[in-house]
Structure 1
Amino acid sequence: MPPTPAAPPAWLSTWMSAGAALFFLLMLSVPSGYSVGGGVLLLGGLAVWWTSRRPGCQHPGAEHTPGAQAPAPWTAEDRTLCVLLLAIFAVNALAVLWHGDSGKYLDQGTRYLLAVPILAGLRRIRLRLDWLACGLALGLFATAGVAAWQTIGIGLARADGFVTSAIPFADMALTMAFWCLMGAALAAFGRRWGWTTLLLAGSLAGLYAMMAAATRGSLVALPILLVLAAIALLRRAHLRPLLAGIAILAAAAAIALSTLPIGHIAESRYAAALDEWHAYTQQGDATNNVGSRLEAWKAALISIPERPLLGWGHEQYDAHLQELIEAGRVAPFVGTLANTHNQFVEIWLHQGGLGLVAFLALLIASFWYFCRRLRAPDPAVRVLACCGAALPAAFAAYGLTQVILGRNNGVMFFLVSLAVLWAAMRQAERDAAQAKANHRT
């Protein structure tokens, strides 16, 4: 058997817990805020690896510190997630080299590589979940403040935070709001009313930010999130607090939509989507939001079969797209778009079948690993599993109408959240097993 690695020093638990809290606190409320928490977590993950290189060596004082614990067993699920992260990076690097693309197209792919030490480090320390919950709620309060300042204070039609677009701003705000809501439910089950209030208020703040962005694509994920929540939470003993929370959220959303300007903006945006759909399907108008997306998908799906393995280089595809336009096969407006506005099509187009398979494998594996715990006996495990399953499911939904992982903020949010939620759920699972064993003895 290989030697047992040393337990990391206890201060690394504080360091990485602070990094996770900072990540969500600053994610949407500060320009490039995700870099702060992400950088802290990366340094912490590397420090965990460095300090555990000597097998079986216990760091002085670690056994007396609440943050310390014996190294968590490394499982096949952990290894699979790391292998899939590395595979996505490898295919991205291979495609860039094969096509002779600029090095800037390695940027997002490199984040998958850097996520491995973060995931590995988080699995070997004890996360302070109260810090994480506090960072999440306070981050959403700040996000709602930014949204209010942009829409009410300076008169923007749609809030976009500091992530360059209203679409990812709304998507990430909705995802964080859902996590806050799940945390509020867990706190209510334990009759921790202070935490329940804080997290429920954070969820409302996140929903406000999403509505202020008036983004239609976010709504695609809502049914998925509701189904996951129902599977994880619906128990007879939990029915009353759940109904109370749902009533509060419904009332707050109704008030916001009926009395605040964001309600009218959102309503007009959703009505416009139907008009744009009819304009494209009946008149061939590819210059509106819906029509341009559909035409971009059409151009990509024409091109993909020509280079199915590693796809098209970015410069190669730009030239090919002009040929399609000149031949009258796609509308000229497509040539003005930055990308295909679909995460799956974008990967398939520029990284071929290899890239698409690697990406789908990560989404499916992570979703399945979390879903396996949705009916766990321990409520903390169920809630964290639900939050974790919501991440790949929601990003798959968001990716239908945008390339959300083509931005640094989007890919960082996805990868760091995946690592944090996976480590937190495995920690809760281990704690529940230990509590059960102690109860038996």
Structure 2
Amino acid sequence: MLCAIALVVPSGYSLGAVMLLLGSVVLLIKRPALGLNRQDVLVMAVMAVYTLGGVVEAWWHGQGISAMDKPVRFLLAIPVLLLVMAYPPRLAWFWGGIAVGAMGAGGWATWLKVIESVARPGGYNNPIQFGNLSMLLGVLCLAAMGWAVTQRRRHLWVALFLVAALFGVAGSLVSGSRGGWIGIPFVLLVLFRAYAPLMLKRHSVGVLVGVLLAGAAVYTVPETGVQQRVHQAVEQVQRYASGDRSSTSVAARFEMWRGASHLIAEKPLLGWGTEGYKQGMQDLGSEGVINVHSSTFDHAHNEFFDSFAKRGLFGLVILLAVYLLPMRFFAKELGASDLSIRATATAGVLLSVTYIDFGLTQSFLSHNSGVMMFAFLLAVLWGIYSRQRKELAHADLYRD
């Protein structure tokens, strides 16, 4: 349920997470042996520190308990990580849930676009969050290929994940969420690093050609809206470079980043806090430093500028740690001989890669959907990954 209903029911991204959190109560009753290692502790520590950073920010700047809400989700995900590590799910259900979620999101977005003529489908979310999370689910389906080829009915699994990946990416494309498209080359690099050695050279070339042809087809078909969104972005960048600061979506982001940079320069260590950031941006707007329209938003539409401006250098370092530390640990098994572990490792790396990409044009963790999906997917993926590695090490020791 964590992924299967994430985007197709109201607050679906929370329902599976809450059920997992409630299920983690069993840890207090059965007290299973977890055999935590250094990497497990560090991943949980960085999740706890992210929460601590958010709580300290809210307390330091007098923002109240409501400002602690989103950072606390990372702390709540830690019991879920331990639950999954102790009682790992059947991988067919985990990977299958991701495929169902991708197909549901892409299918619904396509229906809204083609049948109901919605300009930018967003389902129960805004189009940016919806489109990027749909892209994430599609990308994770490609990560699942390593696990799929080890199954008895591998051809059916591979076909399912290919179709689901197309649906997930389609959900992003028809939503017009351009920020999610920037990171596609980096996603492909991770997938190539993980799976290219498994394919014959001619197959690798064929896959590359297929991806390029699919991209060209998506771009050239007007009904997808991709070509229009790309041309629109290029035009808006050119206009801004020529001095036009009117309120286009691209210009607004540039202005918000410029305003955040001013605030960062004034309070680089501890930041302004959320309320101080909003007041500071409004002051910059009224002084004519940035476009007035851009001064009305409560976040910088860039995860890194936003964190730096609100929480200072310490907040930025914590944000980078929560993305990069788990990614580094997952990356150790991108070449694992056990393809099931390789699939989990690839998914873990891609989770951080996609969120870093999404964060370039959107403060993704400022939204419930963004923080819930990252925190709980990280918890589930790490729980599965850690358990897989321990079981493999135990099996190797037994064989020796």
TM-score by length of 1: 0.84
Aligned partners of 1:208 and 1:256 also within 8 Å: no
Greater shift in the superposed pair: 205-214 or 185-194: 185-194
Q: Could you say if the C-alpha distance between residues 339 and 436 of structure 1 is closer, same or farther in structure 2, counting changes exceeding 3 Å?
A: same
* Aligned AA (1:368): R
2:369 matched to 1:409? yes
Greater shift in the superposed pair: 336-345 or 180-189: 180-189
Q: Give the match's secondary structure for 2:4.
A: helix
Q: CA deviation at 1:243?
A: 5.7
2:342 matched to 1:382? yes
Aligned CA RMSD, in angstroms, stands at 2.2
The correspondence of residues 88-107 of structure 1 with structure 2, limited to 5 A, is 88-107=50-69
Partner residue of 2:187?
225
| Equivalent-residue separation in structure 2 for 1:410 and 1:319 (angstroms) | 25
| Equivalent-residue separation in structure 2 for 1:260 and 1:333 (angstroms) | 31
Match of 2:141 among 162, 180, 188: 180
Which of structures 1 and 2 has the bigger CA Rg? Answer: 1
* Aligned AA (1:364): L
Match of 2:45 among 61, 78, 83: 83
* Aligned AA (2:132): D
Match of 1:49 among 28, 32, 42: 28
Q: Could you say if the C-alpha distance between residues 23 and 283 of structure 1 is closer, same or farther in structure 2, counting changes exceeding 3 Å?
A: same
Match of 2:295 among 335, 339, 353: 335
Q: CA deviation at 1:239?
A: 5.0
Q: Could you say if the C-alpha distance between residues 240 and 380 of structure 1 is closer, same or farther in structure 2, counting changes exceeding 3 Å?
A: farther
Partner residue of 2:317?
357
Partner residue of 1:116?
78
Q: CA deviation at 1:237?
A: 5.2
Match of 2:261 among 301, 307, 320: 301
Q: Could you say if the C-alpha distance between residues 253 and 276 of structure 1 is closer, same or farther in structure 2, counting changes exceeding 3 Å?
A: closer
Q: Give the match's secondary structure for 2:169.
A: helix
Q: Could you say if the C-alpha distance between residues 272 and 237 of structure 1 is closer, same or farther in structure 2, counting changes exceeding 3 Å?
A: closer
The correspondence of residues 244-323 of structure 1 with structure 2, limited to 5 A, is 256-259=218-221, 261-262=223-224, 265-323=225-283
| Equivalent-residue separation in structure 2 for 1:369 and 1:188 (angstroms) | 24
Aligned partners of 2:122 and 2:128 also within 8 Å: yes
Partner residue of 1:7?
none
Partner residue of 1:348?
308
| Equivalent-residue separation in structure 1 for 2:166 and 2:280 (angstroms) | 46
2:349 matched to 1:392? no
| Equivalent-residue separation in structure 2 for 1:213 and 1:357 (angstroms) | 32
Partner residue of 1:35?
14
Q: Could you say if the C-alpha distance between residues 220 and 322 of structure 1 is closer, same or farther in structure 2, counting changes exceeding 3 Å?
A: same
Q: Higher relative CO (CA 8 A, sep ≥ 6), structure 1 or 2?
A: 2
Aligned partners of 2:327 and 2:352 also within 8 Å: yes
| Equivalent-residue separation in structure 2 for 1:158 and 1:173 (angstroms) | 13
Partner residue of 1:171?
132
Greater shift in the superposed pair: 267-276 or 217-226: 217-226
Q: Residues 99-150 of structure 1, C-alpha deviation per residue, up to 9 Å, x if partnerless?
A: 1114322121111111111112211112210001111111222112211221
Q: Percent identity?
A: 28
Q: CA deviation at 1:74?
A: 0.2
Q: Residues 199-244 of structure 1, C-alpha deviation per residue, up to 9 Å, x if partnerless?
A: 1111111122111112211112111111111111122555566666
Q: Could you say if the C-alpha distance between residues 286 and 367 of structure 1 is closer, same or farther in structure 2, counting changes exceeding 3 Å?
A: farther
Aligned partners of 2:34 and 2:82 also within 8 Å: no
Q: CA deviation at 1:362?
A: 1.5
Partner residue of 1:56?
none
Partner residue of 1:8?
none
Q: How many residues align?
A: 399
Q: Give the match's secondary structure for 1:405.
A: helix
Greater shift in the superposed pair: 394-403 or 142-151: 142-151
| Equivalent-residue separation in structure 2 for 1:144 and 1:325 (angstroms) | 38
Aligned partners of 2:220 and 2:227 also within 8 Å: no
TM-score by length of 2: 0.92
Q: CA deviation at 1:258?
A: 4.8
Q: CA deviation at 1:315?
A: 3.0
| Equivalent-residue separation in structure 2 for 1:105 and 1:345 (angstroms) | 18
* Aligned AA (2:294): V
Partner residue of 2:383?
423
* Aligned AA (1:104): S
| Equivalent-residue separation in structure 1 for 2:164 and 2:309 (angstroms) | 38
* Aligned AA (1:398): F
| Equivalent-residue separation in structure 2 for 1:389 and 1:272 (angstroms) | 31
Q: Could you say if the C-alpha distance between residues 246 and 96 of structure 1 is closer, same or farther in structure 2, counting changes exceeding 3 Å?
A: same
Q: Give the match's secondary structure for 1:235.
A: helix
Greater shift in the superposed pair: 247-256 or 88-97: 247-256
| Equivalent-residue separation in structure 1 for 2:18 and 2:54 (angstroms) | 22
Q: Could you say if the C-alpha distance between residues 242 and 184 of structure 1 is closer, same or farther in structure 2, counting changes exceeding 3 Å?
A: farther
Greater shift in the superposed pair: 424-433 or 151-160: 424-433
Q: Residues 259-298 of structure 1, C-alpha deviation per residue, up to 9 Å, x if partnerless?
A: 5711xx1110011111111111112324111111111111
Greater shift in the superposed pair: 302-311 or 212-221: 302-311
Partner residue of 1:199?
161
Structure 1 alignment gaps of length 5 or more:
1-21, 53-69
